[in-house]
Structure 1
Amino acid sequence: MDREAIYQRKIAELEKREQELLEQLQKRETFYEKILDEIPMNIFVEDKEGRTIFANKQACECNGKTRAELVGQTVFDFFPRTIAENQRKEDLKVWKTRSLLTKEVIVHFKGEEVHMYTGKTIIELEDGLKEEYLLGFGLDISARKIAEQKIEHMAYHDALTGLPNRWFIQRYLEEFLTENKTLAVFILDLDHFKTVNDSMGHQAGDELLKEVSKRLRSMFPEEYIIARWGGDEFILLAPNLENENEIITISEEIIHMMSIPFSYADQQFLVTTSIGISLYPFHGPDIVTLLKNADRGLYTSKNNGRNGYEIVV
């Protein structure tokens, strides 16, 4: 075999080897893309100028574009300018600090509000060229947020009436009493509630509690807090009342509301209420004293014959 033939054979072997390496590289890239496409979060990579180098399947779907359409584009190409400028500021901050930046954001996607946990950091390729890129991700945490909201609602609301419960009241008062405002506390107890339970059944008692809750909610503005304190007791928190006459007016409105007959299983019956009232800061500087004094007023009202109200003195 002459030298030319040997030379041509070597070239053919090198070209074949090069083709094999390219095919392996393409398979590896396809393999990595496949993995990233199966991860249930948005993943993208940008260069220092903010141009998209890579976006996985979910990131493409989120932006309504194909990978080919996203590659080479910046946030200014697919976000409103204000949002794009904020995104770019974040990118530059990450490039400057070279640290992981995470946050929770709310975005609107396909007409729905979506809670996202997002992050950005800098990665360096160990290929001898020391090339650096910005790696970003976004994880949809809407389901977790909804679950958290449900758990919090269950923790701070009564299951039967849907009203806030005593734990909600405790938290509300802790925050409110740090402000320099007046607050009237009304504790209501349904008179002879046990008689309703015993004579008509617990279902009737539950329906009565729900109807009282409904009536109370319809009587007062949103800034008034109405809660089920426990058993057959309710609590009303009325902020910024200016004088005792306003307290009396509210109490008499509640007494009048309770005078309207209740109905259950084609039966009508009457239930009255006794009310105890304290006023912050005059009847107590803290939660415990305020509630204790309102409760004291409640029992005074009951001892005076029920179906009335008593402002603690």
Structure 2
Amino acid sequence: MNVQSNQQANEIEKLRSQIAELERQNQELSKQIRIKESLYLSILDALPINIFLEDPEGRTIYANKEACLSNGKSLNEVIGLTIFDVFPREIAELNRAYDLEVWEKRQLITKEFPSGYKGEEHHMFSGKTIIHIEESNEEFLLGFGLDITDRVKAETRLKESEEKFRSLTEQAADSFFLIGVEGKFIEINPTACEVLNFSKEELLEMSTEMIFSQLPSKIKQLKIGTKEQSSSNFEDMMTGKNDLKIPVDINIRLINIGEKQIYFALCRDIRDKKRTEAQIKHMAYHDALTGLPNRWSIQSILDKHISEKTETQLGFILLDLDYFKIVNDSLGHDAGDLLLKVVSKRIQSATENREVNIARFGGDEFIILVPYLSNEEEITSVCDQIMEVMALPFPIHGQRLNISTSMGISFYPKDGKDLNTLIKNADLAMYGSKDQGRSCYSLYHPEMKYHANKRMALES
């Protein structure tokens, strides 16, 4: 009996030990489960996105720390709430429709939509799917949400900036081009299309080499990725449709659009400016009354002849109208001006078969420059032709005027190596013609200077 009792006691003790071991293992397993559960929850709480679980009725059964913060509530406050308890009705209805779509399709669906709480507007990127718990045979909606409010606001600001930029460029009086690093056009404003007479589609198929003369090489000089030499200003020539040439003033610079660097070229049409400059230059080197070159133009022609270092002579004729003052005094300055215009045309017609340069020196004096003379007889032939046309009557204000002319001739380099000396000596020769009775021409020789000085001495 005692043996049997001892045996039973041993069995009971053994059973107790097994139960204790099972309890210990169960506690250890529970501990491990709690640790893992805590770890998983900590990981979920550490993620910078909203994570939540909902039952089929839309009640929240879990939300991580970020989701709670986004809604301004604690986890205990969130549990059991629906989206209608958290969001404004309009946003809640959008979310509920989203949930029902996920339950119906039973797949991951991502969307961007407005969100918010406490009257603050937010934008979320959300993903939702259905998960199945096999142990309990339950299904839940797992969702995540990333607050993209800052990105949406940045995109909105960028879009607004682009719209303002587009509005400004479309209304701008200047042409602008956005150019890729490979030299292809990315964007062109309407002004550029109008100036070049190309459509935007045509220009987008072109490269800078097809439109600009200097711009392609200037682009290569700019350093990408640095502020050094990141802009340049210069004049260039654009070529439009039908080979139309358009001078432009260009400012080009490197700009950043997103992560890309591109070239921005602003081109101002300077055709009017060039025309004005040409007019000013023409006025500076031409006589306003006759349209002939003036003394300064003759100076540049003489300089060019000297720079060529040719061995041929250059003839210099100074022509003066005889008794021009009488025409001005008797018929008026209008008649005198008209006479000067007719004289300039007659000189041009008389010399049209010979390379000459004609200029109005001032008053009633004209200069005829005859280059590349092989002998002096060539210039006297020019003078004879001028004398012939000047001998014809001049119809001025209903009258036929007979006007003679006196001419003096000097030669470069024999009679002078600068304009002032050539004019001075031709002037002496011209007064020699007047002393001979006018209506003739004379060649300068050094004795004329002696006689002129002697005459001045007598007169003084």
Distance 1:206 1:241, change over 3 A: same
158 and 89 in structure 1: CA distance in 2 versus 1, 3 angstrom threshold: closer
Query: In structure 2, what is the Cα distance between the partners aligned to 1:3 and 1:188?
Result: 111
Counterpart pick for 1:137 among 253, 266, 275: 266
- The Cα of 1:91 is off from its aligned counterpart by 3.1
Question: What code does the residue aligned with 2:380 have?
Answer: I
Q: Counterpart amino acid of 2:123?
A: E
**Structure 1 position 94 matched with structure 2 position 222:** yes
Aligned residue pairs, count: 304
> Is residue 288 of structure 2 the alignment partner of residue 159 of structure 1?
yes
Whether the aligned pair in 1 keeps the contact of 2:251 and 2:267 (CA below 8 Å) is yes
Distance 1:264 1:89, change over 3 A: closer
Residue of structure 1 equivalent to 2:277: 148
Q: Equivalents in 2 of 1:31, 1:311: separation in Å?
A: 75
Name the counterpart of 2:123: 15
How far apart are the structure 1 equivalents of 2:156 and 2:256? 25
SS at match of 2:222: helix
**Mapping for residues 55-134 of structure 1, pairs under 5 Å:** 55-62=188-195, 64-66=198-200, 69=201, 73=204, 75-76=206-207, 80=210, 88-95=216-223, 98-109=229-240, 112-124=244-256, 129=259, 131-134=260-263
Q: Against the structure 1 CA distance between its residues 137 and 258, is the aligned structure 2 distance closer, same or farther, given a 3 Å change threshold?
A: same
Letter in 2 for 1:91: I
Unpaired stretches in structure 2, ≥5 consecutive residues: 1-77, 96-112, 116-121, 125-148, 446-460
Which amino acid letter does the alignment assign opposite residue 269 of structure 2? D
Task: Indicate the larger mover: 48-57 or 191-200.
Answer: 48-57
Native 8 Å contact 2:212 2:238 kept in 1 = no
Q: RMSD in angstroms over aligned alpha carbons? A: 3.0
Q: Specify the alignment match of 2:174 in structure 1.
A: 41
Question: Which residue of structure 2 aligns with residue 26 of structure 1?
Answer: 159
2:409 aligned partner, one-letter code: I
Shift of 1:88: 4.6
Residues 1:291 and 2:423 are matched in the alignment = yes
Q: 1:210 corresponds to which residue?
A: 341
Structure with higher Rg: it is 2
Residue 178 of structure 1 and its aligned partner are, at CA, apart by 2.5
Q: For 2:327, what is the secondary structure of its paired residue?
A: helix
Percent identity over the alignment is 35
Counterpart-to-counterpart distance in 1, 2:365 and 2:161: 68
Cα deviation, 1:39-65, whole Å, max 9, x if unaligned, reads 321212223233433333323434533
Contact 1:262-1:270 within 8 A present in 2 as well: yes
Structure 1-normalised TM-score? 0.84
Q: In structure 2, do the counterparts of structure 1 residues 92 and 198 end up closer, same or farther at CA, with 3 Å as the change threshold?
A: closer
- Please give the alpha-carbon distance, in whole angstroms, between the structure 1 residues aligned to 2:231 and 2:192: 19
* Kept after mapping to 2: 8 A contact 1:293/1:312: yes
Name the CA distance, whole Å, in 2 between partners of 1:257 and 1:158.
22
SS at match of 1:44: strand
- The amino acid of 2:330's aligned partner reads S
Residue type matched to 2:342 in 1? E
SS at match of 1:271: coil
Higher relative contact order (CA 8 A, sep 6+): 1
Q: Any conservation in 1 of the 2:213–2:238 contact (CA below 8 Å)? A: no
Q: Does the 8 A contact of 1:50 with 1:74 survive in 2?
A: no
For the structure 1 residues 3 and 140, does the alpha-carbon distance in structure 2 shift closer, same or farther, using more than 3 Å as the test? same
Kindly provide the CA deviation profile for residues 146-182 of structure 1, in whole angstroms up to 9, marking residues without a partner as x.
1111111122211211111222223332333233232
Structure 1's 273 and 31: CA in aligned 2 closer, same or farther, altered over 3 A? same
Report the secondary structure of 2:439's partner residue: coil
- 1:259 maps to a residue whose letter is A
Q: 1:263 to 1:146 in 2, by over 3 A?
A: same
User: Cα deviations across residues 258-288 of structure 1 (Å, max 9, x unaligned)?
Assistant: 1111112332121111100001011112222
Provide Cα deviations, 1:73-101, integer angstroms capped at 9, x if missing partner. 4634x975xx6897655433434784434
Out of 430, 436, 439, which is 1:307 matched to?
Answer: 439
Secondary structure at 2:280's aligned position in 1? Answer: helix
Alpha carbons of 1:50 and 1:307: their partners in 2 closer, same or farther (altered >3 Å)? Answer: closer
> Which residue of the partner structure matches residue 387 of structure 2?
255
**2:307 aligns to what SS in structure 1?**
coil
Once residues 219 and 100 of structure 1 are traced to their aligned partners in structure 2, the CA distance between those partners, rounded to angstroms, is 55
Question: 1:218-265 deviations in whole A, cap 9, x for unaligned?
Answer: 122474111111111111001001101112211122112211111123
CA distance in 1, matches of 2:199, 2:435: 74
* Distance change (3 Å), C-alpha of 1:155 and 1:22: same
What is the distance in 1 between the residues matched to 2:381 and 2:347?
A: 14
Question: For residue 222 of structure 2, what is the amino acid of its counterpart?
Answer: V
CA distance in 1, matches of 2:426, 2:185: 64
CA deviation after TM superposition for structure 1 residue 22, in Å = 4.1
